Amino acid sequence: MSCLPWMRAPSPLLHRLVHVVLALCAPLLAVPASAAEDDGRLWLTGSTRVGLPAAFSASLLLQTRFSDDIGEFERLVIRPSLGRSLGAGFSAAIGYGAHIIEEPTDKVEHRAWQQLSFEHRASFLNVVHRLRLEQRFLEGVDGTALRLRYLLGGSVPLFSSPLRASLRNELFFDLNSKRAGPDSGFGETRFFAGLSHPLGTALTLEGGYQLQYVDGRNQDAANHTLILSLSHSF
């Protein structure tokens, strides 16, 4: 006797989708949000990418961040980079980031970084892995603070339309301890859920919600952030 439709074994595609969702959301299960200080934030991002010969590309990202329930300007981020496609879904990039911070105190953080990315498809699901190493130069902190970041993301088209749904989670690990700076170990996690839509052939608009949990030295923080991004490529 044949099984009823709802009693059939799940498809391999469903297994893959469930595994990706669990991998993205699992770090949030350990977040003690009730013990963290909450804040509402807004991040506005504009980026452009231009293709160069020999599979190279150059990018520039500008981002403004607002904190204190979106009532205060918190920082401006300027992030140029140079990347190269390595084939088979792999790419590498190097870059620099300037964080011009106004809240809670005026300071500037300079960062150099290197990253390796891998993108692949699981049926209709696009999956991306990104590993980034940062060297952070912090005002008032001697030496260089090292940090490792790992991002896992997935996106899927909705209803055979240009609209796509995205889930991403990024984990941050400090690799060394610095007096008046970060402690080594887990630093933060950023979980994002949102939608993106192309605006013509070269522009893409993305919007969504990000939960940023920061494991602070004196006080943990759970930041609820609205993110709006406009990206351009040519």
- Are 181 and 210 within 8 A, CB to CB? no
The structure tokens listed for 25 are 């959301």
pTM to 2 decimal places: 0.85
Q: What is the pLDDT along the chain (234 residues), one digit of tens a residue?
A: 434 333 344 445 445 555 555 555 555 544 554 556 899 999 999 999 999 999 999 999 999 999 999 999 999 999 999 999 999 999 999 999 999 999 888 999 999 999 999 999 987 789 999 999 999 999 989 999 999 999 999 999 998 889 999 999 999 999 999 988 899 999 999 999 999 999 988 999 999 999 999 987 667 899 999 999 999 998
Three-state secondary-structure class, residue 30: helix
**SS3 for 28?**
helix
Q: Do residues 147 and 187 make contact, with C-beta atoms less than 8 angstroms apart?
A: yes
Domains along the chain with CATH numbers? 46-233 (2.40.160.40)
Q: For the chain, what's the residue count? A: 234
- Contact (CB, 8 A) for 89 and 119: yes
